[in-house]
Amino acid sequence: MQIEIDEISKEFGPTAALHPVSLSIPSGALVALLGPSGSGKTTLLRILGGLEYPSSGRVMFDGRDATGLTVQDRRAGFVFQSYALFRHMTVFENIAYGLRARPRRERPNEAEITRRVNRLLDLIQLPEIGKRYPSQLSGGQRQRVALARALAIEPRVLLLDEPFGALDARVRKELRQGLREIHDATGLTTVFVTHDQDEAMELADRVVVMSMGRIEQVGRPADIRTRPATEFVREFISA
Amino acid sequence: MSDVSFTRSEVRPAYRKAADETPLVKAVLVLLVVAVLAVLLFAPLLAVFAEALADGLGASLAALSQPEARSAIWLTLAVTGVAVPMNAIFGIAAAWTITKFDFRGKALLLTLIDLPFSVSPVVAGLCLVLLLGANSSLGGWLVASGVPVIFALPGIILATMFVTFPFVARELVPVMIEQGKAEEEAALTLGAGGWRVFRTVTLPNIRWALLYGVLLCNARAMGEFGAVAVVSGKIRGETATMPITIEMMYNEYLSVAAFSMAALLALLALVTLVLKSLLEWRYADQLSASARH
């Protein structure tokens, strides 16, 4: 799905989290929103997911205005920073949640739900963990379960908030590869937020560098490295 | 690792952890707590039961089956049966409002929820009488339309609700703050509506805190004296709850009857405690699973 962000701004009380920003994300792209904390990258991601409404501006999904669409109607798969797995449900029930939440006539039957959940568990290469609870999983496993849960609703776009933030360096490398593979396999338009420039440069086709609620530069990783557009970008990527 | 003998625990010198106390201090502290518990809790409880059974179990049961006593028991059960569920609902609503939304006056609301803890129950009862008693315009109208509140069941329920309001909310607020909104947001992005999110995510996550709150609220509701004494008018066999009947009987030197009912009231509270312990023991795994994560 192609996403068009048109002059989106967001104020929280007197503070502006986002000055009007515009951005065009082509269908099937893997995009990183890169910036330090407070740069507005998470706010932008949450606006795309429908968890915040913009103060002004429009969001277009495939040319259709999606600004007023409720979070439920957006069908955006969202992976939260601390994964936000339902702690009282098994991994299986976590992944099945979105399917069970559908209106009755669109809800798949029990056999179909089991089939889909098992397919997703295979996709994240954890076929055996369906009966476990989130507290019994490692950080890396939780992250992959959160990804599977988001994919279960057959999302139109995949949004990830600091997906590797809470993991140690070795697991992080592995999961980066995992996300790349899932992106390539599903062809989903994918946007992830990170403050780690290596992660953004290595994983994304396109990097959006943000600072203080503004977009500083948009480009391929190589272009941003060789031709930083502003002083901020030069300093941030050399840090 | 240079000295192998030191890896065997019996030859290791008895180092203490930094936060540990000496055995003497520990023993003194434990003894102190046990002594206080014995004097303040166990001795009075024993005395109540001993006094209740002074003339044998038969006399005690006979005293409890007097019409006056039976009316008091039913009244107390009825009042808690209404007040506790209502306060559970209001408590959830208040905790939800405070923890899930940001708004002005949030700190004030938190303080207001605690108000019943700091206001004397008698004062609370008097406020209700002033507002809804037959001498006020609202109360006069209520009496005229056949639903008197003061000196009647609605007043007793209102007074009990006022006094026990904070328990559920107080239990829920810290738990809900700690859990944050992320799981609810996740459920929303997966397509669930508000009611479904509450039923399948919020409620299961707060169920233990909710249970504790309800049990505390229940114990307090059954035992409330001051506020109820003011609004009920202490009409024998009609508006006298268990604690009030106990006091009236005691003042009339009906000691077996008074202490039998006191023992029953204490027993009801003990049952709640046992129930809580049983649940904790039965669901220990789930409890720790939901606490970790």
Average pLDDT for chain A: 93
Q: Is B286 on the interface with A (CB under 8 A)?
A: yes
Top pLDDT among B285 and A187 is at A187
Mapped onto helix, strand or coil, the DSSP state of residue A107 is: coil
* Set of chain B residues whose Cβ sits within 8 Å of the Cβ of A77: 189
Is the pLDDT score of A30 beyond 50?
yes
User: Which residue of B188, B204, B293 is in closest CB contact with A72?
Assistant: B188
For residue A214, the cross-strand partners are A211
Under an 8 A CB cutoff, do B192 and A72 touch?
Answer: yes
Q: Choose the weakest-confidence range: B46-50, B145-149, B189-193.
A: B145-149
Q: Please check whether residue A98 touches B, CB under 8 A.
A: yes
Question: Nearest-CA distance from B189 to chain A in Å?
Answer: 6
Alpha helices (runs of H) in B101-136, residue ranges in sequence order: 106-118, 121-132
- Which of A11, A52, A72, A149 to mutate: most B Cβ within 10 Å? A72
Amino acid identity of residue A34, one-letter, is L
| In contact, B204 and B293? CB cutoff 8 Å | no
Residue A74 has pLDDT above 50, yes or no: yes
Give the residue with greater pLDDT, B293 vs A13: A13
A89 close to A129: Cβ distance less than 8 angstroms: no
Asked if B106 and B96 touch (Cβ cutoff 8 Å), the reply is no
Report pLDDT digits (tens) over A108-166: 999 999 999 999 999 999 999 999 999 999 999 999 999 999 999 999 999 999 999 87
pLDDT of res. B100: 83
- Confidence label for B17 from pLDDT (cuts 50, 70 and 90): confident
Mean pLDDT value of segment A176-200: 93
Are A64 and A53 in contact, with CB atoms under 8 Å apart? Answer: no
Q: What is the pLDDT of residues B168-227, one digit of tens each?
A: 999 999 999 988 899 999 999 999 999 999 999 999 999 889 998 999 899 899 999 999
pLDDT at B5 over 80: no
Confidence of residue B19 (pLDDT cuts 50, 70, 90): confident
Contacts of A44 (CB under 8 A, 6+ apart): A5, A8, A18, A21, A33, A210
CA distance B56 to chain A (A): 50
Mean pLDDT of B132-149: 87
User: Residue B290 and residue A51: Cβ atoms within 8 Å?
Assistant: no
Size of interface A-B (CB pairs under 8 A): 74
Which whole number is the average pLDDT over A32-57? 95
List pLDDT tens digits, range B243-272.
Answer: 999 999 999 999 899 999 999 999 988 888
Task: Give which of B255, B252, B243 is closest to B52, Cα–Cα.
Answer: B255
For residue B2, the model assigns a pLDDT of 45
Is the Cβ pair B290, A134 closer than 8 Å? no
Region B32-55: mean pLDDT is 92
Q: Which residues pair with A215 in a beta bridge?
A: A210
Q: What residues of chain B, 200 to 239, have a C-beta less than 8 Å from chain A?
A: 200-201, 204-205
CB A12 within 8 A of CB A62: no
Residue pair B63/B257 in contact by the 8 Å Cβ criterion: yes
Contact B289 A135 (CB under 8 A): yes
Q: Which residues of A touch B206 (CB under 8 A)?
A: none
Task: Write down the pLDDT at residue A34.
Answer: 96
Nearest Cβ partner of A87 from B196, B200, B290?
B290
Separation of alpha carbons B154 and B231, rounded Å: 10
Residue B230 pLDDT exceeds 90: yes
Contact B182 A80 (CB under 8 A): yes
Residues of chain A positioned with their CB less than 8 A from the CB of B190:
97-98, 101, 149-150, 152-153
Contacts of A41 (CB under 8 A, 6+ apart): A33, A34, A35, A193, A208, A210
pLDDT > 70 in chain B, percent: 91
Q: Tell me whether A72 touches chain B (CB under 8 Å).
A: yes
Percent of chain A having pLDDT more than 90?
88
Whether the CB of A80 is below 8 Å from some CB of chain B: the reply is yes
Give the ipTM: 0.93
pLDDT tier at B286, thresholds 50, 70, 90: low
- Segment among A22-31, B40-49, B211-220, B277-286 with least mean pLDDT: B277-286
Mean pLDDT of A8-13: 92
Instruction: Report residue A168's pLDDT band, with 50, 70 and 90 as the boundaries.
Output: confident
Q: Between chains, do B186 and A84 touch, taking CB under 8 Å as contact?
A: yes
DSSP state, residue A65 = E
| Residue B8: pLDDT over 80 | no
Those residues whose C-beta lies under 8 Å from the C-beta of residue B133, and which sit 6 or more positions away, are: B139, B150
Distance CA A39, CA A23 (A): 15
A105 touches chain B (CB under 8 A): no
Q: Are B91 and B172 in contact (CB under 8 A)?
A: yes
Cα separations in angstroms, A175 against A77, A139, A179, A189, B61:
18, 11, 6, 18, 70
Position B289 confidence tier, pLDDT thresholds 50, 70, 90: low
